[in-house]
């Protein structure tokens, strides 16, 4: 039994009940193939009042499917015939079939991509009928390819169908590709690589493609992972002009003027030149089924859409062959890279097995495998550095060693020690004792065990950690290992505390009194917060009903960042004076962080501050706030690029330990834990001013860019504050996608908006959120963040999303 791709989405006239009949395949090729039908429960003799396509736009179309009866009334017979091509050949690794007549004119080529079941093959059959001259749905229909929902009959190879109805007309070639799965990991990469490889193969033969046909069902509200990767690749490959070559075929269309798939494509940033609506359900009917007015309306809709498509194709130039050849090289490099990574892991497994057999001894076989591992690590590192940030090949080897040791349940430390004894490493004669003392590979290995929540010194309440440190040595962010949990009575006792008082309470819970006394801390907070224009610092105004607005713009630069940076700057100045140290602050800003940071440290004798601002992407007021400060310790640079692009060289600076040490380099972006710590107080203050009674839940809507503020709110909730949050974003929506559906991925480029502080594509603090909602599992967070850094995307696990959504969602 077999059900077609579109029969479950076919629509019926208002009031009519439809059901699907059982479909059986005819014997081989003798006689027409029997196809799935939708048959009215009403008598086949009943006359229905016809309505025009104009009326169709305003009628509600519904469908009710259930199991078929054996006794079923039949209308006038519908037949469908498999037509054979007049010629077949093979080109670029695909089978090509020719229908109609031969033409000497240059063909126009469109390649169809889309998910399994999207209706690509059925669309090809509709196009065949169009060129066959079947202008009506009740004609002698034909098909050139089998279309079905049976997993065994989905398209598994790439096939081209060339149609031409007159020797003086331009042939149209439609390339049908295998459907893309909504899978994950290696399966997705395989699906996408198959498309990329095909395009590369085409480039090598100078075979021109004019359009990418994206086929998607009308009712879908999201794109599959593979679809998004393919469309992102198309966008990356062909640049901004790619949208002019993408035609979207919306299948299973009905009366909706703006079907959900259109919004889904806009949400994922997929641009296209034209939307074309089709409903090819008549091609899935069983031979002999009745064709009614609605079927004809669908048929006419498809005919109109295909005419538009042909007109656009006629004027469309081919995609750049030069770009396609660039892709060919990219695919080759990608295949080599994948192959050498597999070989490295295979050799590591062999090395572990060999040393296990010989009880940790390095015999001749183990030494040979060990040398092979090092050579492969160097090759992998070479290819890796061409695709992303540069790393040392030792780091590359450690990464794969850890991965393989985890899979094999082997001791990572012992494995690294034995790998270090390879003759080519010139360490074998130095002895294990010297090795443990001197070899950097040991230090790197041990450092790998302290990721994404590095344990603070002593009590974990050292002021230098909160004021100075930024990234851990392996690129993670600092987070306290424990958060104090407040009881309801403790919350009630704080309910009437002022905002400066709550900042003191939060800071006291994370900074030891041995570092700064309570008197000093209170004075420091009061002296820095008195710069605000209102005594309350934060004002709350009622808009209407239960809706209130928390005003965060009463600081010296009118920016929200003043709340945290005024205090962090004070803590930093206190620490430097106490220890007689000098530092250089390096800050990349989209506007407000830079001006707030400058206000906190300008004129300070122990501090130099370097601010990189994205030229043309800050507001005029913010740019003037930064560029008009004349203190000697302030250094401002306009840089071409957006906020995320500024962060890349800054992050590289912080990863260079010697550079950081030589220049005493620090950051006070939201990667700085001190900022998050101070912002926790904002949530306590807002809650106490908004709740009717301490203990009831209050919902807060939080605009966010780098997710630092929303992280502070989640920590406040973890400490016992009864709040829930909605993270709100602008067009740059990575935080909302991450928190709403677990899609932590970079899409397209940063879009400039009226809120430059939110114009961010890579929010640093997502890893802190992951740490909070993975039960503080540092190793798990590390794996997720490393995948994101490699692929620019990672899917947040379902159990983490379940936990996270109890506190915060994205909008």
Are 476 and 767 within 8 A, CB to CB? yes
Helix (H) or strand (E) holding 198: helix 186-204
Sequence-distant contacts of 425-433: CB under 8 A, at least 24 apart: 425/374
Distance CA 567, CA 542 (A): 28
Report the C-alpha gap between 474 and 535 in whole angstroms. Answer: 42
| 534, 538, 539, 545 alpha-carbon torsion, rounded to 10° | 180
DSSP state of 284: G
Pick the closest to residue 510 from 471, 483, 472, 476 (CA basis).
Answer: 483
Give, as one character, the DSSP assignment of residue 619.
-
Maximum Cα interatomic distance, the chain, rounded to a whole number of Å:
97
The Cα–Cα gap between 625 and 618 comes to 11
Burial state string for 483-492 with b = 16 or more CB within 10 A and e = fewer than 16: beebeeeebe
Is 561 known to be catalytic? yes
Are 703 and 532 in contact by the 8 Å Cβ rule? The answer is no
CB 587 within 8 A of CB 482: no
Best CA proximity match to 725, nearest among 744, 743, 741, 739: 739
Instruction: Please name every residue paired with 160 in a beta bridge, in sequence order, or none if there are none.
Output: 96, 175
Number of H helices, E strands in the chain: 27, 23
Angstrom distance (rounded) from CA 266 to CA 133: 35
State the CB neighbour count (10 A cutoff) for residue 304: 14
> Which of 17, 223, 220, 253 is CA-nearest to residue 126?
253
**Torsion on CA atoms 286, 291, 293, 298, rounded to nearest 10:** 40
Query: In the 3-class helix/strand/coil scheme, how is 133-144 assigned residue by residue?
Result: CCCCCCCCEEEC
Q: Specify whether the CB–CB gap between 51 and 40 falls below 8 A.
A: no
Which entry of 34, 96, 417, 561 is annotated as an active-site residue? 561
Q: Which of the residues are catalytic?
A: 561
């Amino acid at each position: 039994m077999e059900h077609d791709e579109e029969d479950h989405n076919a629509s019926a006239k208002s009031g009519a009940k439809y059901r699907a009949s059982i479909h059986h395949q005819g014997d081989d090729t003798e006689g027409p193939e029997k196809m799935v039908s939708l048959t009215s429960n009403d008598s086949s003799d009943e006359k229905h009042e016809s309505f025009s396509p104009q009326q169709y736009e305003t009628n509600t179309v519904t469908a009710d499917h259930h199991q078929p009866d054996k006794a079923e009334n039949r209308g006038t017979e519908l037949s469908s015939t498999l037509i054979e091509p007049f010629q077949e050949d093979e080109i670029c690794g695909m089978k090509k079939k020719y229908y109609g007549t031969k033409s000497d004119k240059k063909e126009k080529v469109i390649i169809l991509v889309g998910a399994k079941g999207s209706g690509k093959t059925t669309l090809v059959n509709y196009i065949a009928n169009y060129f066959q001259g079947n202008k009506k749905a009740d004609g002698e229909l034909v098909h050139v390819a089998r279309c079905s929902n049976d997993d065994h009959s989905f398209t598994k190879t790439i096939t081209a169908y060339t149609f031409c109805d007159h020797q003086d007309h331009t042939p149209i070639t439609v390339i049908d590709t295998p459907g893309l799965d909504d899978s994950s990991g290696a399966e997705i990469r395989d699906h996408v690589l198959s498309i990329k490889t095909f395009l590369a193969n085409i480039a090598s033969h100078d075979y021109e493609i004019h359009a990418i046909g994206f086929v998607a069902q009308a009712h879908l509200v999201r794109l599959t992972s593979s679809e998004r990767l393919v469309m992102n690749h198309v966008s990356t490959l062909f640049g901004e002009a790619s949208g002019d070559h993408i035609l979207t075929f919306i299948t299973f269309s009905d009366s909706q003027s703006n079907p959900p798939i259109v919004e889904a494509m806009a949400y994922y940033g997929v641009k296209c030149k034209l939307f074309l609506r089709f409903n090819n359900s008549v091609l899935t009917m069983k031979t002999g089924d009745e064709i009614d007015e609605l079927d004809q309306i669908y048929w006419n809709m498809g005919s109109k859409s295909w005419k538009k498509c042909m007109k656009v194709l006629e004027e469309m130039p081919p995609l750049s062959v030069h770009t396609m050849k660039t892709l060919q090289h990219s695919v080759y490099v990608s295949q080599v890279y994948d192959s050498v990574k597999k070989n490295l892991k295979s050799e590591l497994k062999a090395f572990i097995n060999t040393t296990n057999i010989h009880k940790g001894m390095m015999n001749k076989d183990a030494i040979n495998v060990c040398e092979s591992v090092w050579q492969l690590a160097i090759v992998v590192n070479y290819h890796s550095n061409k695709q992303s940030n540069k790393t040392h090949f030792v780091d590359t080897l450690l990464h794969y060693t850890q991965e393989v040791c985890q899979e094999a349940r082997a001791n990572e430390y012992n494995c690294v020690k034995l790998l270090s004894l390879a003759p080519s490493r010139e360490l074998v004669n130095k002895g294990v004792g010297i090795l443990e003392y001197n070899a950097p590979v040991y230090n790197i290995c041990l450092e790998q065990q302290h990721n994404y929540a590095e344990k603070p010194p002593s009590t974990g309440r050292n002021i230098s950690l909160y004021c100075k440190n930024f990234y851990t040595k392996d690129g993670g962010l600092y987070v306290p290992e424990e958060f104090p949990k407040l009881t309801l009575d403790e919350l009630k006792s704080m309910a009437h505390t002022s905002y400066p008082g709550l900042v003191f309470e939060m800071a006291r819970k994370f900074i030891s009194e041995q570092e700064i006394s309570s008197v000093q801390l209170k004075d420091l907070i009061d002296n820095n917060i008195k710069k605000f224009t209102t005594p309350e610092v934060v004002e709350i105004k009622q808009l209407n009903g239960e809706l209130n607005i928390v005003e965060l713009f009463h600081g010296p630069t009118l920016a929200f960042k003043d709340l945290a940076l005024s205090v962090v700057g004070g803590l930093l100045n206190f620490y430097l004076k106490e220890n007689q140290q000098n530092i250089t602050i390096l800050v990349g800003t989209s506007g407000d962080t830079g001006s707030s940071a400058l206000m906190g440290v300008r004129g300070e004798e122990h501090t130099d501050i370097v601010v990189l601002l994205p030229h043309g992407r800050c507001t005029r007021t913010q740019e003037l706030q930064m560029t008009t400060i004349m203190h000697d310790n302030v250094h401002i640079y306009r840089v071409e690029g957006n906020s995320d692009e500024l962060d890349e060289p800054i992050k590289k600076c912080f990863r260079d330990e010697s550079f950081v040490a030589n220049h005493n380099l620090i950051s006070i972006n939201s990667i700085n834990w001190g900022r998050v710590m101070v912002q926790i107080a904002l949530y306590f203050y807002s809650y106490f001013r908004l709740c009717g009674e301490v203990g009831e839940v209050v919902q807060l809507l939080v605009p966010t860019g780098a997710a630092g503020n929303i992280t502070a709110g989640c920590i406040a909730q973890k400490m016992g504050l009864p709040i829930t949050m909605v993270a709100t974003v602008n067009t740059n929506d990575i935080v909302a996608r991450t928190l709403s559906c677990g899609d932590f991925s970079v899409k397209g480029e940063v879009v400039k908006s009226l809120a430059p502080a939110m114009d961010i594509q890579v929010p640093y603090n997502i890893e802190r959120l992951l740490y909070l909602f993975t039960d503080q599992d540092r190793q798990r967070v590390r794996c997720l963040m490393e995948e994101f850094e490699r692929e620019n995307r990672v899917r947040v696990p379902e159990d983490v999303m379940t936990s996270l959504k109890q506190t915060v969602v994205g909008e």
